[in-house]
């Protein structure tokens, strides 16, 4: 039995995005959970119960005869749970098998007309533990939905009764969302607001000049990486005081700082930043579904503009967008019709998201005992996606970046630049944007290069393994290609990163040391590692040394021998040795 209902504009927009390129797997949301010793039959039964409880997990999407998208809800769609038993191999082989299985699960191409749009794989390890690989298409789930799934799965695996959900509960929730969308569209101000948004987007949509290396080869099945961002309590408090002075919010400050960062690194004055927002009503707190919209925010940055004025203008742009939070993104895509969307996200190359509640979302589902396991790779249709949240008195989060656009060093410098700008802008209200620097005192990075009008010259992101000299003369020898990339002309030499960091001998360049530290933290499951701590004294061993060498090779795209781990067993010494290999 099936029933048909109208699709929401949020679902329609994501359906447009999913069908705008061949790489629709970037819209798959993948999580890994350690379910301990739970029997596969119990996990299988729990997943089937979830499907029966949540309408979104039983929904497929079809285009009706009149050309509109409809939801087709099934009573009990079949679902096959794949099972893989991992033999008693060594740690390296086990990790490789888990990574391969996760990639395969995450790259599953869903037929959006055939539910459930969820795929599960159970990996039984030799020691009796079981990992659950769960992949759900974004069109039927958002980030909050995974909190619901985790909480209910935990209760089901504990054989604890779940609170009943009326059969028509989700239908009523989606009906109310559609009613809200129609009320917004019926506003007398909607046509003018839509036209204004389209005009802003048409003026802002252009390829960001990231300075991507032509011919950069990246495996098709692994196209993104993550780097963490941490803003301490004191710095976050300064940002909050500044936000109040500027009459904006912390997110308003973050959005303005990100705009400055992209302007500094690309040289473009008009930037388009995607901002995901939640439109979930309180009664939908226990529902699985898509209750998030993407608002494209146009930010106009100029070097001679006061920081306070930029923050105020960014605040006003954001408030204008929030006046109509259900503005149909899919219709904006069709209206603007950007050329060459390809495998990139339509309209927006970069995005910034913010969760004010941060870890409190987990507190709302305190019974959750599924143990999340780090997904060994990531996928993204944004070139750069910054996701931040409140963490105690500070700010934490990550940058997700595409490896076919940035390398690890460039992304690390991007993180450092954002962290520094967030703090510097808190005390720079009367300063002009052109005076802001991407690093303290501009000592550990190239100087800002400006043209006769005081605007930055696009030299590409600093930190690429091969890049043009960061000097006015060498920038003059660079030219921008039609595709927006920066091409180096006859430059006399390749240089190492500028500043004292390149002259520290055995000391590691900060960006490279940060990459090494991130890999150490992943392998050793430690949040804090000193630059001079010995790898083999804090839990490292021969098998982990092999994995460390392999991961560094993958991140840096340079040969890394396991011998290096033994010869240079600290982050400082290892990064210094790798620095020699990277810059030749």
CATH, residue 574: 1.10.1200.10
**Of the residues 453, 488, 523, the one at which a domain ends:** 488
Separation between Cα atoms, residue 4 and residue 73, nearest integer Å: 6
User: Residue with structure tokens 């993958």?
Assistant: 554
Q: Look at the chain and count its residues.
A: 584
Q: Are the C-beta atoms of residues 378 and 225 closer than 8 Å to each other?
A: yes
Name the residue among 282, 422, 251, 425 with its Cα closest to residue 353: 251
Same domain, 437 and 460: yes
CB of 449 within 8 A of CB of 303? no
Asked if residue 270 and residue 235 are part of one domain, the reply reads yes
Residue 299 has pLDDT above 70, yes or no: yes
Instruction: Quickly list DSSP for 2-62.
Output: EEEEEPPHHHHHHHHHHTSSS-GGGGEEEEEEE-TT--HHHHHHHHHHHHHH-GGGGEEEE
> Are 347 and 205 a contacting pair, CB within 8 Å?
yes
Query: Beta strands 371-373 and 292-300: pairing type?
Result: unpaired
Is residue 498 situated within a structural domain?
no
Query: Are 82 and 13 within one domain?
Result: yes
Strand, coil or helix: 398: strand
Can you give the pTM of this predicted structure? 0.73
Residue 548 has pLDDT above 70, yes or no: yes
Same domain as 231, residue 141:
no
301 and 357 both lie in a single domain: yes
Question: What tokens appear for 177 in the block?
Answer: 């969302």
3-state class of 193 per DSSP? Answer: helix
- Rounded to whole angstroms, the Cα distance separating 401 from 383 reads 6
Range of weakest confidence among 5-9, 435-439, 446-450 = 446-450
* Same domain as 221, residue 171: no
Structural domain includes residue 213? yes
Give the span between the Cα atoms of 154 and 159, in whole angstroms.
9
Same domain membership, residue 400 and residue 333? yes
Domain ends where: 436, 463, 488? Answer: 488
Please report whether residue 494 resides in a domain. Answer: no
Residue 91 pLDDT class (50, 70, 90 cuts): low
Question: Of 33-37, 151-155, 538-542, 553-557, where does mean pLDDT reach its minimum?
Answer: 538-542
> Do 51 and 86 fall into the same domain?
yes
Domain that residue 27 falls in: 2-179
Task: Judge if 112 and 207 occupy the same domain.
Answer: no
Cis peptide before 116 (omega within 30 of 0): yes
Supply the pLDDT for residue 44.
93
Which residues make beta-bridge pairs with 224?
378, 402
Q: For the domain that residue 41 is a member of, what is the CATH number? A: 3.30.559.10
User: Do 304 and 407 share a structural domain?
Assistant: yes
- Scan for tokens 């780097």, then name that residue: 227
Output the 3-class SS for 273-310.
EEEEEECCCHHHCCCCCCCEEEEEEEEECCCCCEHHHH
Does some domain include residue 351?
yes
Return the pLDDT at 297: 92
- The mean predicted confidence, pLDDT, of the chain is 77
Strand locations in 453-565 (E): 478-480, 486-488
Question: CA 487 to CA 546: how far, in whole Å?
Answer: 37
Last residue of a domain, one of 130, 146, 179: 179
- Helical residues (DSSP H) of 425-509, grouped into ranges: 472-476
Residue 495 maps to a domain: no
Does 91 share its domain with 199? no
Q: Give the Å distances, CA to CA, from 76 to 53, 60, 115, 237.
A: 10, 12, 9, 51
CATH number of the domain enclosing 464:
3.30.559.30
Tens-place pLDDT, residues 167-213: 889 999 999 999 999 999 999 999 999 998 888 888 876 666 654 43
Residues 238, 347: one domain?
yes
Burial of 211 from C-beta contacts in 10 A (0-12 / 13-18 / 19+): buried
Contact 338, 202 (CB under 8 A): no
User: Look-up: residue for tokens 């003059």?
Assistant: 476
Longest Cα–Cα distance in the chain: 72
In the structure, what pLDDT confidence band is assigned to residue 61 with cuts at 50, 70 and 90?
very high
Q: Which residue has the higher pLDDT, 426 or 380?
A: 426
Looking at the domain assignment, is residue 185 inside a domain?
Answer: no
For residues 115 and 106, give the distance between their C-alpha atoms in angstroms, rounded to a whole number. Answer: 16
Asked whether residue 356 is assigned to any structural domain, the reply reads yes
556: three-class secondary structure by DSSP: helix
Total domains in the chain come to 3
Could you tell me if residue 229 is inside a domain? yes
> Which residues are within 8 A (CB) of 407 and not within 5 positions of it... i.e. 6 or more apart?
216, 463, 464, 465, 556, 557
């Amino acid at each position: 039995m099936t029933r048909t209902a109208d699709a929401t504009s949020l679902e329609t927009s994501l359906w447009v995005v999913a069908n705008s390129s061949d790489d629709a797997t970037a819209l798959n949301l993948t999580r890994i959970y350690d379910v301990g010793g739970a029997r596969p039959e119990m996990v299988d039964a729990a997943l089937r119960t979830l499907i029966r409880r949540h309408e979104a997990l039983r929904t497929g999407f079809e285009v009706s005869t009149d050309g509109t998208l409809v939801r087709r809800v099934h009573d009990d769609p079949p679902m096959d749970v794949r099972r893989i038993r991992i033999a008693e191999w060594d740690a390296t082989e086990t990790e490789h098998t888990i990574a391969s299985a996760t990639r395969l699960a995450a790259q599953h191409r869903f037929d959006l007309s055939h539910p459930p749009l969820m795929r599960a794989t159970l990996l039984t390890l030799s020691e009796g533990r079981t990992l659950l690989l769960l992949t759900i298409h974004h069109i039927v789930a958002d980030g909050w939905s995974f909190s619901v799934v985790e909480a209910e799965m935990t209760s089901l695996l504990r054989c604890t009764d779940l609170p009943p959900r009326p059969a028509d509960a989700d239908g009523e929730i989606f009906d109310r969302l559609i009613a809200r969308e129609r009320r917004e569209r019926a506003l007398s101000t909607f046509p003018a607001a839509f036209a204004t948004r389209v005009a802003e987007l048409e003026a802002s949509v252009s390829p960001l000049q990231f300075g991507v290396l032509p011919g950069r080869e990246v495996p098709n099945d692994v196209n993104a990486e993550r780097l963490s961002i941490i803003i301490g309590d004191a710095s976050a408090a300064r940002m909050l005081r500044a936000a109040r002075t500027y009459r904006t919010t912390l997110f308003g400050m973050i959005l303005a700082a990100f705009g400055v960062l992209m302007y500094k690194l690309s040289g473009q004055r008009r930037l388009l930043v995607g901002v995901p927002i939640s439109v979930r009503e309180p009664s939908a707190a226990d529902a699985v579904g898509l209750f998030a919209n993407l608002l494209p925010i146009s930010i106009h940055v100029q070097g001679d503009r006061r920081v306070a004025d930029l923050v105020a203008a960014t605040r006003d742009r954001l408030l204008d967008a929030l006046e109509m939070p259900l503005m149909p993104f899919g219709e904006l895509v069709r209206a603007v019709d950007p050329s060459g969307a390809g495998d990139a996200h339509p309209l927006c190359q970069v995005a910034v998201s913010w969760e004010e509640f941060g870890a409190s979302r987990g507190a709302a589902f305190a019974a959750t005992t599924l143990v999340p396991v780090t997904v060994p790779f990531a996928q993204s249709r944004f070139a750069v996606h910054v996701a931040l949240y409140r963490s105690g008195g500070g700010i934490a989060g990550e940058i997700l970046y595409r490896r076919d656009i940035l390398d690890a060093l460039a992304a690390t410098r991007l993180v450092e630049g954002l962290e520094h700008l967030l703090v510097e802008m808190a005390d720079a209200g009367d300063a002009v944007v052109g005076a802001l620097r991407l690093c303290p005192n501009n000592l550990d990075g190239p100087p800002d290069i400006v043209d006769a009008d005081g605007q930055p010259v696009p030299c590409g992101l600093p930190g690429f393994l091969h890049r043009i000299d960061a000097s006015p003369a060498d920038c003059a020898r660079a030219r921008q290609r039609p595709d927006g990339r920066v091409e180096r002309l006859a430059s006399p030499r390749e240089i190492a990163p500028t500043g004292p960091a390149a002259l520290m001998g055995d000391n590691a360049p900060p960006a490279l040391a940060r990459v090494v530290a991130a890999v150490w933290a992943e392998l050793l499951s430690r949040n804090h590692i000193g630059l001079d701590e010995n790898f083999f004294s804090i839990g490292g061993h021969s098998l982990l040394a092999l994995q460390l060498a392999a991961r560094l090779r993958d991140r840096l795209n340079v040969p890394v021998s396991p011998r290096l781990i033994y010869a240079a067993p600290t982050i400082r010494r290892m990064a210094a040795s790798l620095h020699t290999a990277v810059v030749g």
